[in-house]
Amino acid sequence: MSSSEDLETATMRRVYWRLIPLLFTGMFLNYLDRINIGFAALRMNHDLGLTPSVFGFGASVFFLGYMLLGVPSNLMLDRIGARVWIPVILVFWGVVATLTAFVQGATSFDAVRFLLGVAEAGALPGFALYVTQWFPASYRARAIAGYIIAGQAAAIFGSPLAAFLITMTDRGFGLHGWQWMFIIEGLPTILLGLAFLFLLTERPADARWLAPEQREWLQRKLDEERAAAERVRRFRLADVVTDGRIWSLSILFGCALVGIYGLLIWLPQIINAMGHMSLFEVGLLAAIPPALGVVGQIAVSRSSDRTGDRKVHLGAVYVLGAVALALSAVCPNAILAYVLLCVAGFGIFAGNPLFWSMATAMMTGTAGAAAIAFINSVAQFGGLIGPWMIGWVKGTTGSFEIALLALAAFLIIAALIAFAMRVAPRPAAAASEA
């Protein structure tokens, strides 16, 4: 290497293209198996006799299971390592996602959705923790954006794919098309989990695919950042539940998730209610808002890394999403209302990498692993509220307008918390621990 700058650039480029595509694939399947229920509902609800309120409750109960296992899962990852624990997570959720094809009614639907939440609970915080073990702070937002956009990619390609599978496989071997969709989309997760056993590397010092000087530079850089953070304050597990920043982030993200999951899970049905369309047309239109979210994530995360600001960027994109959702709810023109939904998708989804960059920088060590999982688990109250609330409102009023206004209100709360929250540890605490 000709210089330290060349060494850094080459090392981080190699790490990025080795690890982020793997995490992207895992996150793509994670969101695909989580939100494909929204498209299946266009046929499944009729076949199983599920009302909007019953479906909304079943979609939300996923997040109850998700909340319970997030922290234990990330502590297990910290103890036994990502190379073993992440594949276990993938295989478990792949099996449960496949079994969704065989639900018979409201009770079995609720049970499988709860188990899927339990199975997926460790994936997102586990990936976020793994990134902190490979990417220095100045690269972290881009790294997280590189795989977190898989959620929007799943929404982009998942809708047309679901439309194709449901239509083309219907009545194959006596199964409905939506049943085949769950089977065909669930099995790849099991295979990926087995592949991860061989493809993941635990830490930079073990990476034989890096040159020796690259391994040494990266491990030293990460160790120095961790030591610097711990000189400011050495965090304990007890700090996770007593640190106001952790609770602020948890409530912030929970309010944002009301909008994120409310929109993701119900988007096909919201679009379908705008006019008479075929399954394929709904699938294509449902792909555009999350596609714009990918654009937003890439552009906003690069701006955030360049300026070093997280919270103002985060608050701004949530305000944009809230305003667009509110205008879409009251707009009498279906075409303009859909355009506003697309703008909302840009704003709502653009905040994800910024949020996780803030969350992963809060604490270090085992406390850091617990903090990431704690924030993610507590925030899932947004997943409980969003899909259920839309189903209840739709069943009560017969339309989506009031539900979209409620989603916008939660996004405004998230934005206000982002603008106001404290990012650094309290000076008094830092001084006592230095």
pLDDT (0 to 100) of residue 361: 76
286-312: pLDDT as tens digits = 889 988 988 888 889 888 888 888 889
The two tokens of residue 357 are 């960059």
Q: Report whether pLDDT(234) > 70.
A: no
Q: Report whether pLDDT(431) > 80.
A: no
The alpha carbon of 25 is separated from its chain's Cα centroid by a whole number of angstroms, namely 13
C-alpha 189/C-alpha 25 separation (Å) is: 9
Q: Which range among 9-23, 62-76, 303-317, 322-336 shows the weakest confidence by mean pLDDT?
A: 62-76
Compute CA distances 400 → 264, 276, 325, whole Å: 14, 16, 11
Nearest to 14 by CA among 291, 234, 214, 247: 214
Q: Do domains 1-220 and 235-420 have the same CATH topology?
A: yes
pLDDT (0 to 100) of residue 184: 96
User: Within a 13 Å sphere around the CA of 287, how many CA atoms are in the beta-carbon half?
Assistant: 16
Amino acid found at 149: I
Q: With contact defined as beta carbons under 8 Å apart, do 271 and 338 qualify?
A: yes
The two tokens of residue 329 are 């709810």
Q: With contact defined as beta carbons under 8 Å apart, do 72 and 177 qualify?
A: no
Contacts of 179 (CB under 8 A, 6+ apart): 101, 102
CATH number at 1-220: 1.20.1250.20
pLDDT (0 to 100) of residue 429: 42
Sign of the C-alpha dihedral computed for residues 351, 196, 226 and 370 taken in this order = positive
C-alpha 167/C-alpha 47 separation (Å) is: 15
pLDDT (0 to 100) of residue 39: 85
C-alpha 228/C-alpha 429 separation (Å) is: 15
How many residues would you count in the chain? 434
Q: What average pLDDT score do residues 382-392 get?
A: 86
81-111: pLDDT as tens digits = 899 999 999 999 999 999 999 999 999 999 9
C-alpha 342/C-alpha 336 separation (Å) is: 10
User: Please, where are the H alpha helices in 273-361?
Assistant: 279-307, 311-330, 334-350, 352-360
Q: How many CB atoms lie within 10 A of CB 54?
A: 18
User: CA angle at residue 303 from 298 to 309, to 5 degrees?
Assistant: 125
C-alpha 375/C-alpha 398 separation (Å) is: 35
Q: With contact defined as beta carbons under 8 Å apart, do 160 and 287 qualify?
A: yes
Q: With contact defined as beta carbons under 8 Å apart, do 350 and 300 qualify?
A: yes
C-alpha 1/C-alpha 323 separation (Å) is: 50
pLDDT (0 to 100) of residue 29: 94
Q: What average pLDDT score do residues 208-221 get?
A: 93
The two tokens of residue 108 are 């079995």
- Residue 365: pLDDT band (50, 70, 90) is low
Tell me the three state secondary structure of residue 103. coil
C-alpha 411/C-alpha 267 separation (Å) is: 17
pLDDT (0 to 100) of residue 97: 95
C-alpha 146/C-alpha 301 separation (Å) is: 10
Q: With contact defined as beta carbons under 8 Å apart, do 308 and 289 qualify?
A: no
C-alpha 115/C-alpha 401 separation (Å) is: 31
In the chain, domain spans? 1-220, 235-420
pLDDT (0 to 100) of residue 430: 39
The architecture (CATH level 2) of 235-420 comes to Up-down Bundle (1.20)
The two tokens of residue 52 are 């909007």
Compute CA distances 25 → 98, 154, 293, 373, whole Å: 18, 10, 18, 21
- Based on its alpha-carbon atoms, the radius of gyration of the chain, rounded to whole angstroms, reads 21
C-alpha 254/C-alpha 249 separation (Å) is: 8
Phi, psi (deg, nearest 5) at residue 363: -140, 170
Q: Report whether pLDDT(4) > 80.
A: no
C-alpha 141/C-alpha 315 separation (Å) is: 16
DSSP assigned state of 175: -
